[in-house]
Structure 1
């Protein structure tokens, strides 16, 4: 392994199992010392002598690479490489390693939890009981509802599998061909507009790109059913949060569940205070099993890189 590995991600750095694995594999490891996302200055100062980094959502771009001249490899802890400038890494001779689908079950289970919690009124009922209100409103069943899947990659497909016992009508959209998957799993290919217009629940599983940024905007929201539930566990920038708040206040949207945000850590008192909104602190891929799997995948990638595999 490299003489010195830097680990920027908090979840990895505070996991005893992964810390031991990293220390066994490398002559020196520098973990995140602050227990929070690092600033640019902190990251480049702490890891200036590292030849390899394990990163989460930290920006690895031209500016970062210029400040870390010894860096030779970056392994992603998690999935999605939208925070890493691949062209800049290639220009600097830095290898980039990602892992596909390593946290798909963890994220998919959170999505299912959001669906059930909102549909059966679990979240709102619990909040009301904390205030002493006994209001019996059991919501409606998830079974038989129409679910729109925008992005049908590893996580989207895992959600489709988890929904099978509920007999939902599932509409799928992706930039890649999905006809065979849909045919094999009782789903239907659909355009985004068809999903916006017809789905009771819309769940997002796309990377953040120029094409997907603010995909959920005022125009898209006006196509949705007034009782529809919007779920975002992909990337915060995919959704125009202000437009969603307006739609919720005007009762043009039934509810929203967010696990990702434009800026993290995130807090919006108005949004988080809405009874039909659930906000979680990016825990989709943070189950104990997923944390280990993502960490081990990153370590394995660096070990193989050192061995020339």
Structure 2
């Protein structure tokens, strides 16, 4: 009898259909047919007799995993595991595998394109030109601004490397400080409040907190500069979206560029604002990166089934 697997990422195999056809030959496959991240109640219906999961960013809580009594492996298409109850997996002997494919270039490039787009009003100019309106809005240069990076891991560091030459002052907050790196690239470590107070651009590259509390909420918006741009390409839960909406509507901060959301696909009220750029979770969504991620996730799955 074939092992039964759940392929939870709805776009899996689009770039390389052979990955999918090979899985179908080897395993009995269950697919995500919703075209979005699976919700708790949907996972509960699917995992009961599953042996392996090719997983995205959907939540694998103790409640869900306790229903998956035959589960042997969760193979993440990505590096993060903050959406998986690792303690429960250890207790039950469920293997959790992550990919080693480097997402840092892809995500860091998106961050750079977002802050350039925001400060040069590219979305607004594109809209006006499409409507046959020659309407210009004054932009801002990046040179001389302070870039604050929350989470100076592989992606945060790649962002620092790629912004060399832009004449940015860079500050960072991370519980684990890499003094050699900060010295080489003139990055100043500081606490998170100091970072928020002094930064013109704040970009988040940290995992979700264990208690799922947001990094940026009402109090943090109050101490940010009124001309600040907030960028999130990490986890949706890292920002309280309700207070983000209020901060943008009231011009407490200048704007935001958001690629990740609490609920995806996102259909919330941020879309009604003109000082926000929204993208549909595309940080690691480049053809070369995605192909490698999926191939590696399949290899990891096969190791345990």
TM-score in same-fold range (> 0.5): yes
| Conserved? CA contact 1:101–1:154, under 8 Å | no
Per-residue displacement from partner, 1:94-143 (whole Å, max 9, x unpaired)? 11112356322221111111011011121222233344543222411223
| Residue 201 (1) aligns with residue 201 (2) | yes
| Conserved? CA contact 2:47–2:67, under 8 Å | no
- SS of corresponding position for 1:30: strand
Q: Which position in structure 2 is the counterpart of 1:18?
A: 19
| Residue 87 (1) aligns with residue 91 (2) | no
Task: Report 1:238-257 matches (<5 A).
Answer: 238-257=238-257
Q: Which position in structure 2 is the counterpart of 1:143?
A: 143
1:58 shift after superposition: 2.0
| Conserved? CA contact 2:55–2:74, under 8 Å | yes
| Alpha-carbon distance between aligned partners in 2 of 1:35 and 1:157, rounded to the nearest angstrom | 32
Task: Report 1:122-271 matches (<5 A).
Answer: 122-210=122-210, 213-269=213-269, 271=270
| Residue 274 (1) aligns with residue 273 (2) | yes
1:17 shift after superposition: 4.6
- SS of corresponding position for 1:53: strand
Consecutive unaligned residues in structure 2, runs of 5 or more: none
| Residue 286 (1) aligns with residue 285 (2) | yes
1:20 shift after superposition: 4.0
1:301 shift after superposition: 1.9
User: Structure 1 residues 117, 61: closer, same or farther in 2, change over 3 A?
Assistant: same
User: Structure 1 residues 255, 21: closer, same or farther in 2, change over 3 A?
Assistant: farther
Q: Which position in structure 2 is the counterpart of 1:298?
A: 297
How many residues align structurally? 303
| Alpha-carbon distance between aligned partners in 2 of 1:81 and 1:226, rounded to the nearest angstrom | 34
User: Structure 1 residues 21, 181: closer, same or farther in 2, change over 3 A?
Assistant: farther
| Alpha-carbon distance between aligned partners in 2 of 1:196 and 1:261, rounded to the nearest angstrom | 21
User: Structure 1 residues 103, 38: closer, same or farther in 2, change over 3 A?
Assistant: same
- SS of corresponding position for 2:294: helix
| Alpha-carbon distance between aligned partners in 1 of 2:130 and 2:268, rounded to the nearest angstrom | 21
User: Structure 1 residues 100, 183: closer, same or farther in 2, change over 3 A?
Assistant: farther
Per-residue displacement from partner, 1:51-77 (whole Å, max 9, x unpaired)? 111111222122222222111111111
User: Structure 1 residues 241, 193: closer, same or farther in 2, change over 3 A?
Assistant: same
1:13 shift after superposition: 4.7
147-156 or 164-173: bigger deviation: 164-173
| Alpha-carbon distance between aligned partners in 1 of 2:214 and 2:89, rounded to the nearest angstrom | 27
**What's the Cα RMSD here?**
2.2
Per-residue displacement from partner, 1:80-106 (whole Å, max 9, x unpaired)? 111100111122221111235632222
1:170 shift after superposition: 1.0
| Alpha-carbon distance between aligned partners in 2 of 1:182 and 1:12, rounded to the nearest angstrom | 38
| Alpha-carbon distance between aligned partners in 2 of 1:193 and 1:222, rounded to the nearest angstrom | 10
- SS of corresponding position for 1:295: helix
15-24 or 169-178: bigger deviation: 15-24
| Conserved? CA contact 2:82–2:210, under 8 Å | no
| Conserved? CA contact 2:36–2:264, under 8 Å | no
| Conserved? CA contact 1:30–1:47, under 8 Å | no
| Conserved? CA contact 1:203–1:231, under 8 Å | yes
286-295 or 12-21: bigger deviation: 12-21
| Alpha-carbon distance between aligned partners in 2 of 1:178 and 1:28, rounded to the nearest angstrom | 46
